[in-house]
Chain A
Amino acid sequence: MTETSSPPAGTVMFPRPKKRIRGRSIAILVFLTMAALFFCIPLYVLVTTSFKTMDQIREGAIFSLPEVWTFEAWRYAWDEACSGITCEGLKRGFVNSLEILFPSLIASIAISAVTGYALALWSVRWAGGFLFLLFLCAFVPFQIIMYPLIVITVNMGIYGSIWAVAFIHTVLAMPVLTLIFRNYYKDIPPDIIKAAVMDNGSFWRIFIEIILPMSGNILIVVLIMQITSIWNDYLIGVTFGGLGAQPMTVNLANMVTVTTGTVSYNVNMAAALQTAIPPLVIYFVLGKFFVEGIAAGAVKG
Chain B
Amino acid sequence: MGIRWSRLTPQLALAPAVALTAIAFIGSIGWTILLSLTSSRRLPDYTIDWSDPLRQYRRLFADLGWNIALSNLIILAIGSALAIVFGFVLAAMIERERRGEDFFRTVFLYPLAISLIVTGVAWRWIFNPSLGIESFFHSLGMTWVSFNWLADGRTAMYAIILASVWQSSGFYMALMLAGLKAINVEIWSAARMDGVALWRVYLEIIIPMMKFTFLTCAILLSLGVIKAYDIIVAMTNGGPGQSTWLPAYFTIKAMSAKGNLAFASAAAAMMLAITVVVFLPLVLLTAWQQRARKGAAG
Give me the interface of A with B, judged by CB distance under 8 Å: 25, 28-29, 31-32, 35-36, 38-43, 45-46, 49, 57-58, 60-63, 111-112, 114-115, 117-119, 122, 124, 130, 133-134, 137, 139-149, 151-152, 171, 174-175, 178, 197, 202-204, 228, 231-235, 239, 249, 252-253, 256-257, 265, 268-269, 271-273, 275-276, 279-280, 282-284, 287, 290-291, 294-295, 298-299, 301
Q: What is the bound-complex CA distance between A28 and B104, given in angstroms?
A: 12
Given contacts A124-B10, A152-B23, is CB(A144)–CB(B269) below 8 Å? yes
Say whether B125 contacts A140, CB under 8 Å.
no
Contact flags B123-162 to A (C-beta < 8 A → 1, else 0): 1111010111101100100000000000000000000000
Specify which chain B residues have a CB less than 8 angstroms from the CB of A49 in the assembled complex: 125
Partner of A253 from the list B21, B25, B117 (CB cut-off 8 Å) is: B117
CA distance A232 to B28 in the complex (A): 25
Partner of A143, one of B105, B135, B255: B255
User: B90 near A35 (CB under 8 angstroms)?
Assistant: yes
B100 touches A141 (CB 8 A): no
6 closest residue pairs by CB, A with B:
A148-B28, A232-B115, A122-B10, A283-B113, A145-B28, A203-B9
Asked whether A115 and B108 contact (CB < 8 A) given A57-B131, A62-B135, A202-B9, the answer is no
In the complex, which residue of chain B has the Cβ closest to the Cβ of A119? B14
Chain B residues lying within 8 Å of A38, measured Cβ to Cβ, are 166
Instruction: Tell me whether B234 and A284 are in contact (CB under 8 A).
Output: no
Answer whether residue B178 sits at the interface, using C-beta atoms and an 8 A cutoff. yes
Alpha-carbon gap, A29 to B94, bound state (A) = 9
- Contacts A139-B279, A144-B28, A295-B174 given; does A280 touch B237 at CB 8 Å: no
Q: Are A139 and B21 in contact (CB under 8 A)?
A: no
Which residues of B lie under 8 Å from residue A287 when comparing CB positions? 106, 109
A235's partner among B170, B237, B252 (CB-CB below 8 A) is B252
Interface stretch (choices B46-54, B60-68, B260-268): B260-268
Return the CB mask of B24-62 against A: 1 if under 8 Å, else 0.
Answer: 111111011101000000001000000000000000000
Which residues in window 241-277 of B have CB below 8 A to A? 248, 251-252, 255, 261, 264-265, 267-269, 271-272, 275
Q: How far is the CA of A272 from the CA of B235 in the complex (A)?
A: 13
A-B contact pairs, 5 of them (CB 8 A): A46-B122, A130-B21, A249-B230, A287-B106, A287-B109
Cβ–Cβ contact B6 & A197, under 8 A: yes
The answer on a CB contact under 8 Å between A111 and B9 is: no
- Is the pair B107, A39 in contact by a Cβ cutoff of 8 Å? yes
Contact A145 B32 (CB under 8 A): yes
B272 touches A45 (CB 8 A): no
Q: Are A202 and B5 in contact (CB under 8 A)?
A: yes
B118 within 8 A of A: yes
Q: Does B97 contact A (CB under 8 A)?
A: yes
Nearest residue in A to B223 (C-beta to C-beta)?
A301
CB contacts (< 8 Å) of B170 on chain A: these are 39
Query: How many Å lie between the Cα of A203 and that of B193 in the bound state?
Result: 57
Is A141 within 8 A of B272, CB to CB? yes
Contact A232 B114 (CB under 8 A): yes
Please, which residues of chain B bring their CB within 8 A of the CB of A275? Answer: 115, 117-118
- Is A60 a contact partner of B21 (Cβ separation < 8 A)? no
Check if B32 sits within 8 Å of A148, measured CB to CB.
yes
**A252-B106 contact given A42-B122, A144-B271, CB 8 Å threshold:** no
Residues of B within 8 A of A41 (CB): 126
Do the beta carbons of A231 and B174 come within 8 Å of each other?
no
Q: Is the CB of A39 within 8 A of B234?
A: no
Question: Bound complex: CA of A250 vs CA of B275, how far in Å?
Answer: 27
Contact of B14 with A62 in the complex, beta carbons under 8 Å: no
Decide: A272 and B9 in contact? CB cutoff 8 A: no
Task: Pick from B23, B103, B119, B261: contact of A42, CB below 8 A.
Answer: B119
The CA of A124 and the CA of B54, in the complex, are separated in Å by 41
Q: Of the candidates B14, B106, B121, which one forms a contact with A118 in the assembled complex, judged by CB atoms under 8 Å apart?
A: B14
Which of A43, A46, A62 is the one whose CB lies under 8 Å from B136? Answer: A62
Known: A235-B230, A272-B122, A279-B113. A32 touches B100 (CB 8 A): yes
CB within 8 Å for A141 and B227 given contacts A39-B108, A62-B126, A275-B115: yes
Cβ of A103 to closest chain B Cβ, rounded Å: 15
The complex places the Cα of A301 from the Cα of B172 at a distance, in Å, of: 11
Q: Is the CB–CB distance between B275 and A140 below 8 Å?
A: yes
Distance to closest chain A CB from B142 (angstroms): 14
Nearest A residue (CB) for B111: A39
Closest chain B residue to A127 by CB distance? B14
B279 neighbours in A (Cβ, 8 Å):
139
Q: Please indicate the chain B residues that have their CB under 8 angstroms from the CB of A45 in the complex.
A: 122, 125-126
What's the Cα separation between A139 and B112 when bound, in Å? Answer: 19
